Amino acid sequence: MEYIEQSMNRAKNGNCKGDTLFFQALREVLVSIAPLIEKHPEYLDQHVIDRIMVPNRAIHFKIEWLDDDNVVHVNNGYRIQFNNALGPYKGGVRFHPSVNPDILKFLAFEQIFKNAITGLHIGGAKGGSDFDPKDKSDKEIMKFCQAFMAAFYNSIGADIDILGGDIGVGAREVGYLFGKYKQLTNSYDSIITSKPLSLGGSLGRIQATGYGLVYFTQTLLEDRGETLKGKICTISGSGNVAIHAIEKLYDIGAIPVTCSDSRGTIHDSNGIDLELLKNLKLERRASLEYYTLERKNATYVKRENYVQGSSFVWDIPCFAAFPCATQNELGENCAQLLIHNDVKIVAEGANMPTTPKAIELFVENKILFAPAKAANAGGVAVSVLEMSQNSSLNYLSSEKVDKRLRDIMSTIYIDLKKTCDEHNLGMDLISAANILGFKRVADAMIMQGV
């Protein structure tokens, strides 16, 4: 359709010059919504696409902090407040050396639609810094988090913009960020989620993205007369999302056999030793290479020995593949390996981990595909439960949170199926997720006027 290229050209020449990841995310949404636009030309008449593809506000700030030797460091900080048509901005904060405005714009853009798909009233945002938390002392992490918050605390608020965790930002960092906000404003407002329990966090929030991913995948499979029970599953990553996906896979009787970190990959054909993995990554913050010291039969492949774009996760034969590390980690070669090994379903735990070429191959080969916008929405859904518990002071048991999470993931699946039926999409859940998310946001924008 004509509007796709016209909008892409406007974006390319305008607000996303040089932004390759944002461009990739934008194209996927614009192509997917073609059946909706055909039925509802009013979205073009109202210029919703032009309005939706530009962030409301993009904040760039300087973070100055002192290391343990009193040496001054300067990092870049960002917050992209992309769209608040459905509610206050909501989205995580990422600390990683690769962070730049392009990555955050793509993540914030995806977050708008993911949040809309949950059916909860929140807008989309993302933030972060190019700060590298690796090998920093606890005191340095604290100082950095305090400087980050001090630099932009007046741009957020419990009804304005609520932060959360992401790569490099876990309970420890969230605690420091929250503590600094409280000190600067003298308020205990819920301006960040994924808080430790003692600071008003929700039971089940840490597990929510990984558990939600498995609930969504299992719901989808059950609807098609299949199950994950007894099946070999491959997982990439070994952070919050990957670890809790592995935990839930064990709970439902599946066999997770791989995990990876930024330095290498583990294959343990007897099933990943979850306690060892948690000890290494959550407690000791150590590299996965130490895994094989205790599990002699497992294999470890270092990143420098990866060949042809494969991380040695995706060449392991499996029934289900769960990319849970980072964007564009599963490319064309990996997709070919998975298809060759007869994978039945790919479910995205990370944000946009599958490249467009790899997605094309999965679609061509009729592999079931659960897109991140739906499959990893459990984290943000439980974050909203955390916000509501903070404001009502009425805290839920972990059983209640888990039940709400299951219900939300299954409602998302039902809504996507309905959208597939309405637009004759078959099992194209990528298009369904984009259409559903876009429609909810676009309708709210139109109702609020220009």
Catalytic residues: 126
For ligand NDP, the closer of residues 334 and 445 by Cβ is 334
For residue 162, list its beta bridge partners.
90
What is the sign of the dihedral through the CA atoms of 386, 380, 208 and 142? negative
SS3 state at 155: helix
Work out how close the CB of 325 gets to ligand NDP at its nearest, in angstroms, rounded to a whole number: 4
For ligand NDP, the closer of residues 262 and 410 by Cβ is 262
Give the x-and-dash track for 223-262 against ligand NDP (CB under 6 A).
Answer: -------------xxxxxxx-----------------xxx
User: CA 154, CA 380: separation in Å to the nearest integer?
Assistant: 23
Beta-sheet strands, E only, within 251-387: 255-256, 258-261, 264-267, 299-302, 320-322, 345-347, 368-370
Q: Could you say which DSSP state residue 176 is in?
A: H
User: CA 39, CA 143: separation in Å to the nearest integer?
Assistant: 53
Which of these ranges, 166-174, 181-189, 314-322, 393-401, lies near ligand NDP under the rule CB under 6 A? 166-174
Residues in 323-382 that interact with ligand NDP by CB under 6 A: 324-326, 329, 349-351, 376, 379
**Distances in whole angstroms, Cα of residue 224 to Cα of each of 365, 368, 400:** 17, 10, 27
Q: Which among 96, 267, 415, 342 has a CA at the least distance from the CA of 423?
A: 415
For ligand NDP, the closer of residues 239 and 437 by Cβ is 239
Work out how close the CB of 169 gets to ligand NDP at its nearest, in angstroms, rounded to a whole number: 7
Work out how close the CB of 426 gets to ligand NDP at its nearest, in angstroms, rounded to a whole number: 26
Work out how close the CB of 126 gets to ligand NDP at its nearest, in angstroms, rounded to a whole number: 9
Work out how close the CB of 136 gets to ligand NDP at its nearest, in angstroms, rounded to a whole number: 13
Shortest-Cβ-distance residue relative to ligand NDP:
239
Do the Cβ atoms of 149 and 155 come closer than 8 Å? no
Question: Is residue 165 near ligand NDP by the rule CB under 6 A?
Answer: yes
The token duo for 193 is: 């989620």
User: CA 411, CA 401: separation in Å to the nearest integer?
Assistant: 15
Residues in 279-308 that interact with ligand NDP by CB under 6 A: 281
Task: Name the site residues for ligand NDP (rule: CB under 6 A).
Answer: 165-168, 209, 236-242, 260-263, 281, 324-326, 329, 349-351, 376, 379
